[in-house]
Structure 1
């Protein structure tokens, strides 16, 4: 498989863990501190953007494959993890959504750090809210708001406070 050729990128197997998929995709064991070339960084950004386009076209499985391929090229691509988490959430793969968003928060860096962290905390809050875990959702909405002001974050906080009887 050529790197960057997402058409030949095999989809994750049902139930396959992300790390196993990435190892299979790359054909090698992931290293704790991988060396990433500038070409891989550029390719990862391109794949992430293609994943965003697939996501907006409601091609969620394709988006997941593209985000995973972006991450395989740059394992520290925080935005790709955040996008992956959102796609997993839409596919009702909540455990994977939580994992990907937490990874995005841990990796967020650069000028978009607060945006990536805020959107990832928001995505986590939505998973918790959909599962009826109001206190956890409230905490995540508050964390999102702590990184960036947005009406959706404030609205989520108010809604969770109402659910918890805190208003």
Structure 2
């Protein structure tokens, strides 16, 4: 009955796009090429490759995290925050905690660079909640100092 009512109201039923195994493999390859471009400081090329990876696999959490970092380096902060939040939402599989932690760290760095100490502190703490890393602990201490909490 629910489908019938939706059709009567003109609502379309939508499902997630089907992603073939070839697209999954291509997305991984494009993400790796994006990482190579990023490390070669070819940030615009890296962004293009990450976006192409995402076009092939819209649920590629690592590609979104990488995209967020590239946007951050390009000072495209709103896009960096969006991509990292998307990465956190999509993170799955054996690297879930790593993707979430690094994405929260990327968000924290954007906030820190914008002087938003409390937001940065929250994000550093979220990163640490997913994975222990000295950079996350250091970020927490630095933000606590900035906020006068030490």
TM-score computed with the length of structure 2 as normaliser: 0.91
Change (3 A) 1:113 1:25: farther
* Structure whose CA Rg is larger: 2
Quote the offset at 1:20 in angstroms.
29
Equivalent pair of 1:82/1:104 in contact (CA under 8 Å)? yes
Deviations 1:46-77 (A, max 9, x none): 00000000000000000000000000000000
Change (3 A) 1:47 1:137: same
Measured in 2, the distance between the counterparts of 1:101 and 1:21 equals: 38
Unaligned runs of 5+ in 2: none
Structure 2 partner of 1:73? 56
Question: Where do 4+ consecutive residues of structure 1 move more than 4 Å?
Answer: 18-32
Q: Which has the higher helix share?
A: 2
Quote the offset at 1:165 in angstroms.
0.1
Change (3 A) 1:98 1:23: farther
Change (3 A) 1:166 1:126: same
Quote the offset at 1:132 in angstroms.
0.2
Secondary structure of 1:48's match? helix
Measured in 1, the distance between the counterparts of 2:46 and 2:5 equals: 15
TM-score computed with the length of structure 1 as normaliser: 0.82
Unaligned runs of 5+ in 1: 1-17
Q: In angstroms, what is the RMSD of aligned CA positions? A: 7.1
Equivalent pair of 1:121/1:143 in contact (CA under 8 Å)? yes
Quote the offset at 1:22 in angstroms.
32
Change (3 A) 1:140 1:25: farther
Quote the offset at 1:126 in angstroms.
0.1
Quote the offset at 1:149 in angstroms.
0.1
Change (3 A) 1:36 1:141: same
**Comparing 30-39 with 134-143, which one deviates more in the overlay?**
30-39
